[in-house]
Structure formats: structure tokens, C-alpha cells
Structure 1
Amino acid sequence: MKSYDIEALRLLARQYNTVRKASTEVINLSAILNLPKGTEHFLSDVHGESEAFLHVLKNGSGSVRRKIEEVFSGTLMEEDKRHLASLIFYPEQRLPLMLEKVENRDEFFKIILFRLIKISRVVTSKYTRSKVRKALPEAYAYIIEELLHEQESVLNKHEYYTSIIESIVSTERAHSFIVAICRFIQKMTVDHLHIIGDIYDRGPGAHIIMDSLIAYHTVDIQWGNHDILWMGAASGSGACIANVLRISLRYGNLATLEDAYGISLLPLVRFAMETYGDDPCTRFFPKNTGDIDMDYNEEQMIARMHKAITIIQLKLEGQIISRRKHFRMDNRDILSTLDPEKGSVVIDGAEYPVNDSNFPTFDKDHPLELSEKEKEIMTKLTNSFKSSTNLRKHVRFLYEKGSMYLIHNNNLLYHGCISMKDDGSFDGFEVDGESYSGRAFMDRVERLARQAYFASEDDESKSYGQDAVWYLWSGRQSPLYGKDKMATFERYFVDAPETHVENKNPYYKFRDSDDTARKILEEFGLDPDKSHIINGHVPVAVKKGESPVKGEGKLIVIDGGFSKAYQPHTGIAGYTLVYNSHGMYLVSHKGFSSTRLAVEEEQDILTEDILLESVQERLRVKDTDKGKKIQNQINLLNALLDAYRTGRIKEGEESY
């Protein structure tokens, strides 16, 4: 047995001060080790598409339907199973619609309740009673617990079980009870949720997604480049704020800013109309995915705001590039090369014409300096971002539950890439004579991202952290962005298509190989024969024959493809992943129409399961990270028992 420090055992003895207490806990923990492993659910790149996200969350990427099939295969018609699934997903909305079609409400309630209890028994079978009890809805905790652990088929319990159901119906509590137990089933179907980045931007509901994640029972988040951008904006980074505004205006998504976060855009509106009121700004009209209804005048106002904040952004980014020479991004300060009289800029040593001649706030002698009005605008916007209570709540949750990467149950989770050179080696980043690459680089930039938000306002480390967060959004070696440049200037102001090309990091070429996957897993201390990489960020071009499974099965891409802007390119609504006690399933999704159709017509997201890996022997808690912690606790308790039995510690002496 491993030797433990006697003082550590004395501390443990305060909680388990007798042989009986310590041995009872060993028995309890040992039993937990042999329970089936809980279901993990992996989602990525939801990009503000709250309706599709919430639907996938409710159905657990098909996990609820799989449970229904497991329980009722051969006993229920397909129509009845579909009704049951839609009820579990949307109990408040579906139940009234279902009741409209039944003649005997009491009999309907009894049938539904019996079916929901059967499903509940299956989804709770892999948990301890204690854990189930903590998850029960408070109002019905005792009743549900009784129903879960009483078998209606046992003769001497049949009447007792039936009487509970009948009492629920006769007291007119069936409606609220059904809603409560449906929510309970959703909760217990998935043990843990992983979000592999990019909650924000494009779609209109990022704030709704964040609220749902805060309310979720257990979740972790690996930051995406769009998330880090909002985190930087909340910290007060002007460049990040300008980018957030530009993207929101580009997609006509102002509701998240104004309604959800209370960001006042009125100063920007006034400035844009005064400065660009005679400019048609035709290249800045918002992209409309069909979610937002606006007329031409609204679109034109947004276009002028869009151009105004873009110019501000380019100036602020140029200032970062100038003061952080070690970012090695001098070639990205294109605004400083602008010559309005010639109508040209210099990009990578070549001169190109610009398609716009109206730059009223640009000073050729001081190209990166904000005008007085631009400074005033940014001061007001910065104050608005930093004082938003709801944004602060959401961003602090991203810091609390988030990280650059996560190692969990032998899987390595990250959003973008591990930056590589053309020869396949890890790309290094030098700061003050120190070189960082691979895992060390990820750890370094995570510390900087936290520094950006939590350091004191007057501390230089905060300013540096904010600039580092902007770099993570768009820098050449950023593991979250993964391209050699973000061609913002070129896409707006230069027509030459060759300047718009954003080359992916060599990682995306090498990640198809088994050798690369192995090298990355080893870099993070994982066994490549037993581990996987779960990767988001880049949509899988299914239409072009691309597979989400790479590195001979060791690397799995699960960009959810929730963003409607990507779906014409991918051909599907992306992938999610389910990892349960039986193995690992990749789930491909078709597009989601709307919550209304899901409720009224029971339209589900059509999914297809792809079995990636199955296990001959069902995975248990002992096979997980949680199991390792429990085993360590058991070992420590066994050492305490040995100390009691050998007289090194006396029972009861540490109880006071």
C-alpha cells in the first residue's frame, strides 16, 4: 500500500473518525466505481443559433430517442415514440397540443406518466440514488423517487404504484408533474456537456445560449476565437470591441448588443450619419440570413455604422501591431500604407488600387490616430461594454468554465489548432528570450487571456493581456484562429481576389495523418493508443467528400455547422459527438427549421449515427477521470483504516 503522511490521514480522520465510517465510505465509493460511465455530449461552433442549439441540447444529439427505442422497441408504434420524444423535448408547448386530440384526459395522463417513469428509470440507472435525488425537481422529488424505485409489476407493490399515478391525476397535478419529469429526463440523459468553442457571432441568440449553459447541470467550454473576441471586448480592449461591433453589423445582429447586453449604439449612429451620411457604403450592407427583417433605410444606416467602426478597428489594430513588435504582424498594418490621392495601398510589397475613395477621418501623416470624435465614440462604447451586467455575467462564466484546451477522460479537446510549421513541427513563439510552442504556448496564452480581464486597470499586464486576446482572435500563429492573416482590409477595400486568400495553418494539412495526431496527444501527456482529439472551428465540407474523422480515427472534427452561413458550403448542419458507456458516436445533423415546427409538427433535426468506437466491456466510472479521483480517495481511506488498526491513529481522537 502507498505510504501516506500521518498528518494527511489525521485531517481525513476529522471526517471519518471511526473504522465503521471509513469502511462504509470505502464500500460506497467502490460501488460507484462499477456504475456505467455517464454520457458525455460534445457540441461546437453554435454561433448564436440558439433554437438549433437548444433543440440538440434537449434531445442529447439523439440520446433521448435512443433511450425511447431501448425501452419501447417492439411495444410502441413509431408515431407514439415520436409523440413521446417531442413531449420530452418541449413539454410545456406539446402537452396542450396533445390534449386537444384526446377524449379521456385522465387515461391519457396515466399512460403518459407510466411511459415517462419507464424512461426515467433507464436514464437514472447509471447514477447513485444520492445523485439522482439531488437532480430531482424539488416540488415532486419524493413522488418521483418513489416511482423510480417501485416496480409496478411486483404484485405487492402494484396497487401502491398505481395509486400514486392516480393521485397525481385526480389532484390535477398531472400537467405540472409531466413538465417536471420531462425536464428531469433531459437532465439525466446527459451527464456532462462539452462546448468546443464559438458560442458567439453570426446568429442572434448567443446570450440565450449562455443563459442555458449557466443553468446547465455540468459543462465545460473550450474557448473559440469568437468567444475570446467577446471576452476581450468585455475587458475593455478597443480593438476587440470594434471587431465585435463590425461583425454584429455585418450580420445585422444588433439585438444581442442592444437588447441582451444594453450596449448603446446611439453614439455610433450619430457619428456614422454625420461622417458618412453622403457615402452609399454599398460594400458594407449587412448579410441577411433571413432571421432579421429590415428595410432599405435600416440597412443603409447599418452600412454607414459598419464602415465607421471598420475604419476605427483598422486604426486600433495597427496601434497594437506597432507596439507589439514580437507579434510579427507588421505586414498586416495595411492602413498605414494607404495613399488616398493615388487610391492605392501596399500589401506584402505589392501595390493595389482601393475601391473606395472616401476616408474622411484618415490622416496620411498620422494614419493610425483616431480623430477626436472617434476617440469619443470609443470611450463611450468601452464604458458601455465594461458596465454591462449581463455581459459581465456571461464572460465571467466563460472564464470560470472555460480554457484553451481540456484533457478529459483520455480525450484532448480544443477549438482551433496546435500551431505548426511547414515541416510539421510545433511552431514556436518567442517572448523576452523565451520560446513557447505546443502545450506550453497554449498554457501561456491562456494566462494572458485571464490577465486581460482580471488584472488591475492601471497594470501594464492588463494592456498586454488585452493585446494578446486580440492576437488570439486574428494573429498569424493563434491556435484559435489558425490562419496566416485575417484579410479584413482586403475584403472591404481591395478587389484583387488573390489578396483575400487566408491560408490555413499547416496543422490543417497534417492533422489527417496518424503521426500528427499521435505527436499532439503525446505533447499533452496522453497515450495515443487510447486517446482522441476532439476538434472544432473549421466546418467539414461534406459536399466535397471531406470526412470528419482524421488521423486514422484519432482526431474527430465536430464543427456543429449550426451557423446558417456555413450550411451551403458544408451541405449539412454539422456534427456533434456522444461518448457513453458503450462507445463513441459521431452524429451528423440536417438543418433545423424552427422551434415552432418542432413543437407543432414534431419536426426533429434528422440525425445519423456513425459508430466511431465500441467497447467489448461496458465502460465504468472506474475508467474515467472521476474514477481515478475516487480510487485515490479509496486508497487514502484504506490507509486511514490501516492507521486505526495499527494504533497510529485512535478512533474518535480527531472528531473535535
Structure 2
Amino acid sequence: MDKQAMVEQGWRELAAEGRENRAETLEACVELLAQGALLVDTELFMSDIHGEYNAFSHVLRGGSGAVRVLVEKALAEGDRAEGEPLDGDTLRSLILYPREKWAALAADEGAAAAARYLPAMVTVARLAAARYPLYRVRALLPEGFGILEEVVCAQATEENYWYRWEIVEEYGKLGAGADLACALGTLIQHLVVNRLHLVGDVFDRGPAPDLIMEEVMAFPSVDVQWGNHDILWMGAAAGQPGSVANVVRICARYGNLSILEDAYGINLRPLAAFAAQAYAEDPCVAFGLKDRTGLTDAEAELTVKIQKAMVLIQFKVEAALIAANPGFGLDDRNLLHRIDRERGTVVVDGVEYELTDTVFPTVDWDDPYALTPGEQAVIDHLCAAFQRSEKLQRHVRFLLDHGSLYREDEGILALHACVPLNADGTLMEVELFGETYRGKSLYDKVDRCVREAFDAEGEARRQGLDMLWYLWLGPGSPLFAKSKMATFELYLIADKVARKEEKNAFYRLLDDEDALDGIFQDFGMNPCTSRIVCGHVPVKVKDGEDPVKAGGRVICIDGGWSAAYQKTTGLAGFTLVSCAQGLFLDANEPLASREAAVAGADIVAERREILGCRRPQALSDTNKIESQDARIAALRELLEGCA
């Protein structure tokens, strides 16, 4: 019988059905009371992964160094493997990459050499499982490997050692040693991290956002706070033209069109054919690629033309969106009609600038924002192709089901970018579809709109779709947090003054106690004990910037996972670790490659203590156990009723 159902239905209803429930009620009450003695779960906060799958996967699988610690402890306790002592790097790699490492060991030294590590893997699993009740370990056992409960959870004694070891050996005798290694490795990975908080931006820049999504979806416990790049891809998956145009443009700019074609099956041939013809004689001087790694000269040349084609399509479809949503206040982003063709200049904010490129073969200067028939066909095809991508739809549905614009738990307000503020630190009012919102009400409104883009109909869906695009570039967007999206200026104006995007006052006021108090109060949180965890803006650690603001009340965790940002940050990503020992910020070093990791390379982070505990914290020390008080009281009442 479901114990929660007992509480919800009540003793009298159950008794009326003639059921004997005292033992079950007593068990449920004891279980809840005892849970307070369990240690606090280990949770990881990671943001701005931007397609950098290898490093992300390595840190997640290793629990940001937790597996390394357990391996050292297991080897220090000794093992019963015959022959040479076991190598710690090999054991750790076998836990993190069991299938690949087993194959490499078996190829180099034979399956018996790989099998020597299985008892040590069992020891690491036992150490990882020791802090949990049996039911939680049992829930994490891989399907088909329930028998591992005997080797991982049963008390180890001389009397039962050979039985447990026989279980391990029999897998090898049956030719399933690699399967056992995979089961043990997966179990350990899921034991060292209880929950992953992904604070936005899986997509863009790096090469493998799809692999990140697959790994995240396979993780037992995860939540996502949407980032601006995630929202952009979600909009594209919904067929929103402005979002589609931006996604394709960015993939082209970073030489990552293969993400669309190979990972998500989006056919780009109509776009490539159009770009090659429309811009055949165009040198596209202002549209060089940020990264052309792996591209031939011919591929790079075509990608440049594709990028320019998408830039002009983007300007045009965005002009239609701006006209349809005057309340967004984005008229100043329409700049094509401000170009002086004879002078080769454009006027932005009252200042005339020289253009870096003056060749626009698809622009009708009598109606500059009108799509040509070819451009219309391209954007129609792309919108349909994004909507037909089964894999992308599956990934976006996961983001919807496991994600939100923000998350508040245990005094941590996790959000990707910012809470928009005025210059004086007060909450900034933002008009959306005729209504005004700020702070938490703004977040809640936007969250509803995002969901309506996928699940509503009619006007609510249209507004939701347009909101997905607005969140990418709107000054009032809590995911953008800048004065303007200077895409036009970035490509077509060399002067950095024109390109400058002023950050919202939130980023200037991260050490302002009054501004932070106002945010926490608006979200219904205790200003004295609450923290904001956010990403979005890379922390320039190499220039001395501190990711920890206001004495730890704000922690900025964008540390540059993607290689595109590592020159800015000077490191390769942050991982915020919350565990029984406290709160820690890990500054990660780069990972050369997945192949290097399988061979034994590791990411060794520099750990900084944000909040230390004199003793390991139990659930009874947190608010989480308080949420069980009502259930315990109800169960006690039930016990009295069935005495």
C-alpha cells in the first residue's frame, strides 16, 4: 500500500475498507522520523555548458572529484586482486567510462586484466552507498542488475565474502564482465551526485549540445533553469521564425552547422543552395567565421555565405515580429532602412557609422524588410524542419517538463541571468502584452508564456511563441539583461561604441545589500539566509573578478566551460557543490579530450569553501525535513486511531 495514500485518504476511510494498517502506518512513521539522521544530499550546480560535452560529462560522472576521493580510499583499504597493485587512474577511468575503458584494457592486456578491477569497483560502490538507506540504493541499481544489492549493500564479512565474490566472478565467466563494469560505474556515478541543477545554456557555441541533453536525460534527478540560448532553441523547435533564424545564424557563425544536420537531422540543402546562388559574387567581407575547425576551404566559404543569408533573413523576420508586438519596444532594432547606400553608412542612435559591408543582393530598398521568394521558401522550410526533428522535440519536451525560469529551494534562488533592476536598485517594471510585471511576477508571467507556446492554442500560443523570441533579445527579458541585442552592429559596424550592449543594473548592484534584500523579499525568501546562484555572464577570473559577490549572497557560476569563453575567464568552468560538508565552488581546468579522459586524464579543480560546516549536516539540520512534519503528524494521528 502507498504510504502517502494512507496519509491522504485517512485512517477512517481505510478502516472502512476493512484493511489492517497499523504495521504499515507504524513503518511509514518510523521511516520519516529516521530520515532526519540521513546526511544532506550532494547537489551540483552547473551553468553555461554551451555544447562542451566532454568536460561536462567528465565532471558530472565524477561528481566534481568525488569519485577520485572514493578511489583513493578504496585503494588505501587494499584489494584482493592478484598480481600488481591496481592503478588509481585506471580504476577511476573504468568507473567514469566503463564501456570504453574496459574495451581498451581488454584490447591491450586481455579481459582478465580488466576483470582485476571489478572487486575494487565493488569496493568503491560500497563506499558510495554506505551513506544511503537500502531503498535509495536499490532504486539506483541498473535494470537487470538487482543482484548487485548483495555485493554493494550486504554487510561484508569473512563468512559471506566468497559468496559476494562469486557473484562478481560469474559475470566474467559468462562473458559479461563489461556489462558488470558498466552497471557498477553507472551506479557509482549516480550515488556520488544526488541531484543536478543545470542553470541554463546547454546550447550554442560548442559542438555537442545533443550529447549533453542525452546524458542529462539519463541522469536520475535533474532540474533545469532555462538560459537564453536554451529558450532560443526551444523557440526554434516550436517553429518560431525569429528563433529559427538566430539558431541557424549562430551555428553558421561558429562553424557548427553539423549540429543541425548530423545531430538533429535538419536538412540545410535548400538554404545552402539559396545562399550559394544569391551570394555567389559576394565576398561577404563582414561575415567571417568565429571557428572553422574541421571545415575545408570550400565548406568554410559556403558557411560564410549561409551565415550572411541568415543574417538578412533574420533582420527581415524580426522586423515583422517587432511590428506585430509594438509593446516590446524594439523599433530601434530595425536598421536596414537607415542605411545610406550612396555613402555606405548607417545611422544608429543618431550617429552615422561607416558600414563594413555594403553588398545586399536580397534587399529591395523600396521595401527593405520584405523577404524575397527565395528567402521566404528557406525560412518556411527551416521552421518546418525544426518542428519535424524528433530528437530536438524530445530534448525540448524534457526542458519543459524538468525546467523552469527559476527555482527556489533551501534558500537558493537559481536563475540563469538576472532579476531586472532599475539604476537605483528597485525592481524594473516590464510591459508584456499590455500588462506590467516586475521581479517574481515577471518571472512567473514569462514562465507561463513559455509553456503556452507549446501547450496552448490561439492567441495565447501566438503570444507564447513571440515571447520565446523576445526573451532572446528584449531589454526587459530576465534572460537577456542588456540594453540591446547588437547583432546588426556586430556584423556591419566596426566602431565598438555602436556595438556596446549595456548590462542591466543587476550586474552593477551584485554587492548592493539593499538591492539584494529587495529581490529576496519579492520572491518570499529570507534576505538574511538566501543566496542567488546565476550564470550568463562569464566571470573574468583572469582579470581578478571574484565570482562570489556580497559575501556569498550571490554566486556567479559562468566560468567558461566552452572553449569560446575560456580566454575571457581564464579557466574551464565552475561547479558549485552543495553537500553535507558545506557549499564549495570548484574552478575547473580544461580537459584535453574524451580519449585523454578514458586513458586516465582528470579534471582537477581548485576548490573554494563558500560555507563550511563543523560537522556533516543531516536532513534534520535543513528545511527539507520540516516539510515532512505535517505527514508525520498525520501518521501519528493514524497510529492513535488504530491502537
Q: Place the TM-score, normalised by the shorter chain, in its bin.
A: over 0.9
1:151–1:161: 8 Å Cα contact kept in structure 2?
no
**2:87: which partner in 1?**
80
The one of 147, 150, 153 equivalent to 2:151 is 147
Conservation of the 8 A alpha-carbon contact between 2:557 and 2:574: yes
Q: Which moved more, 1:357-366 or 1:573-582?
A: 357-366
Does residue 29 (structure 1) correspond to residue 32 (structure 2)? The answer is yes
Matched residue SS, 1:140: coil
Of residues 241-250 and 403-412 in structure 1, the stretch that sits farther from structure 2 once superposed is 403-412
- Match of 1:580? 579
SS at match of 1:511: coil
2:396 is matched with which residue? Answer: 395
Does the 8 Å CA contact 1:318/1:335 hold for their aligned counterparts?
Answer: no
Counterpart CA distance in 2 for 1:312 and 1:556 is 38
Amino acid of the residue matched to residue 207 of structure 2?
A: P
Letter matched to residue 101 of structure 2: R
Partner of 1:654: none
Matches of 1:12 and 1:550 in 2, distance apart? Answer: 54
Q: Secondary structure at the match of 2:63?
A: helix
1:240-251 matched pairs, under 5 angstroms = 240-251=243-254
Count of aligned pairs: 633
CA deviation map 1:445-487 (0-9, x unaligned): 111111122222xx12222212211111011121111111111
Shift of 1:113: 2.9
Q: Who is 2:265 aligned against?
A: 262
Matches of 1:404 and 1:281, distance apart in 2: 38
**2:638 maps to what in 1?**
640
Asked if the contact 1:345/1:353 (under 8 Å) is kept, the reply is: yes
Give the AA of the match of 1:638.
R
CA distance in 2, matches of 1:162, 1:264: 53
- Conservation of the 8 A alpha-carbon contact between 2:285 and 2:356: no
RMSD: 2.5
Compared with structure 1, are the counterparts of its residues 347 and 174 closer, same or farther at alpha carbon in structure 2 (3 Å cutoff)? Answer: same
Mapped partners of 2:18, 2:33: distance in 1: 18
TM-score scaled by length of structure 1: 0.91
SS at match of 2:65: helix
Structure 1 stretch displaced more, 193-202 or 14-23 = 14-23
Cα gap change, 1:147/1:304 in structure 2, threshold over 3 Å: closer, same or farther? same
- Contact 2:106–2:113 (CA<8 Å) still a contact in 1? no
Partners of 1:560 and 1:17 in 2: CA distance: 57
Asked if the contact 2:266–2:389 (Cα under 8 Å) also holds between the matched residues in 1, the reply is yes
Structure 1 residue 75, shift from structure 2 partner: 5.9
Aligned to 1:138, the other structure's residue is in SS state coil
Deviation at 1:156, TM superposition (A): 3.2
Quote the Cα distance in structure 2 between the aligned partners of 1:597 and 1:584: 30
Report SS of the residue matched to 1:534. strand
Whether 1:540 and 2:539 are equivalent positions in the alignment is yes
CA distance in 1, matches of 2:19, 2:221: 28
Instruction: State the secondary structure of the residue aligned to 1:634.
Output: helix
Provide the secondary structure at the position in 2 that maps to 1:407: strand
Distance 1:107 1:5, change over 3 A: closer
Tell me: CA distance 1:498–1:125, structure 2 relative to 1, closer, same or farther (3 Å).
Answer: same
> By how many angstroms is 1:55 displaced?
1.2
Output the CA distance in 1 between the equivalents of 2:14 and 2:65.
Answer: 43
- 2:14 and 2:327 map into 1 onto residues whose CA distance is 50
- Which residue in 2 is equivalent to 1:119? 124
Report what 1:651 is aligned to: none
The letter for the 2-side match of 1:134 is A
1:330 aligns with 2:334: no
Equivalent residue for 1:409?
410
Deviates most, 576-585 or 355-364: 355-364
Matches within 5 A, 1:64-75: 64-73=67-76
Q: CA deviation at 1:5?
A: 11
Write the mapping of 1:169-568 to structure 2, written as runs, cut at 5 A.
Answer: 169-288=172-291, 292-431=293-432, 434-456=435-457, 459-568=458-567
Letter in 1 for 2:199: I
Distance 1:220 1:79, change over 3 A: same
Match of 1:650 in 2: none
Whole-Å Cα distance in 2 between the matches of residues 180 and 402 of structure 1? 28
* Deviation, structure 1 residue 398: 0.8
Residues 22 and 101 of structure 1, relative CA distance in 2, 3 Å threshold: same
Q: Indicate conservation of the 8 Å contact 1:282/1:303, yes or no.
A: no
How far apart in 1 are the matches of 2:18 and 2:282? 73
| Counterparts of 1:72 and 1:85, CA distance in 2 | 11
* Conservation of the 8 A alpha-carbon contact between 2:105 and 2:114: no
Give the residue type in structure 2 aligned to 1:588: A
Shift in Å, 1:9: 5.6
Give the aligned partner of residue 607 of structure 2. Answer: 609
- Contact conserved, 1:234 with 1:391, CA < 8 A, in 2? yes
In the aligned structure 1, how far is the partner of 2:72 from the partner of 2:8?
Answer: 53
CA displacement, residues 325-351 of structure 1 (integer Å, 9 cap, x when unaligned): 221222222223223234222211222
Task: Please state how far the C-alpha of 1:186 moved relative to its aligned partner.
Answer: 0.8
2:575 counterpart SS class: strand
In 1, Cα distance between equivalents of 2:245 and 2:550: 38
* Contact 1:339/1:364, CA 8 A, preserved across alignment: no
**Residue of structure 2 equivalent to 1:109:** 115
Percentage of pairs with the same residue = 38
Residues 356 and 492 in structure 2, CA contact (< 8 A), matched pair in contact too: yes
**Mean alpha-carbon deviation: is it higher for 156-165 or for 310-319?**
156-165
Shift of 1:101: 6.8
The amino acid that maps onto 1:536 is: G
For the residues of structure 2 that align with 1:452 and 1:465, how far apart are their CA atoms? Answer: 4
Of the candidates 17, 21, 24, which is equivalent to residue 18 of structure 1? 21
User: Normalised by the size of structure 2, how large is the TM-score?
Assistant: 0.93
Of 497-506 and 622-631, the range deviating more from structure 2: 622-631
Shift of 1:106: 5.4
* Contact 2:328–2:432 (CA under 8 A) maintained in structure 1: no
Structure 2 residue runs of 5 or longer lacking an equivalent are 1-5
Deviation at 1:151, TM superposition (A): 3.8
Q: In the aligned structure 2, how far is the partner of 1:373 from the partner of 1:349? A: 33
What is the CA distance between 1:586 and its match in structure 2?
Answer: 0.7
Secondary structure, counterpart of 1:298 in structure 2:
helix
CA gap of 1:78–1:502, structure 2 versus 1, over 3 A, is: farther
SS at match of 1:584: strand
Number of the residue aligned with 2:3: none
Helix, strand or coil at the partner of 2:197:
strand
The amino acid of 1:160's aligned partner reads Y
How far off is 1:27 after superposition? 0.9
Aligned-residue offset at 1:170 = 4.5
Distance 1:78 1:608 in 2: 29
Structure 1 equivalent of residue 43 of structure 2: 40
* Distance verdict in 2 for CA 1:90–1:8, change over 3 Å: same
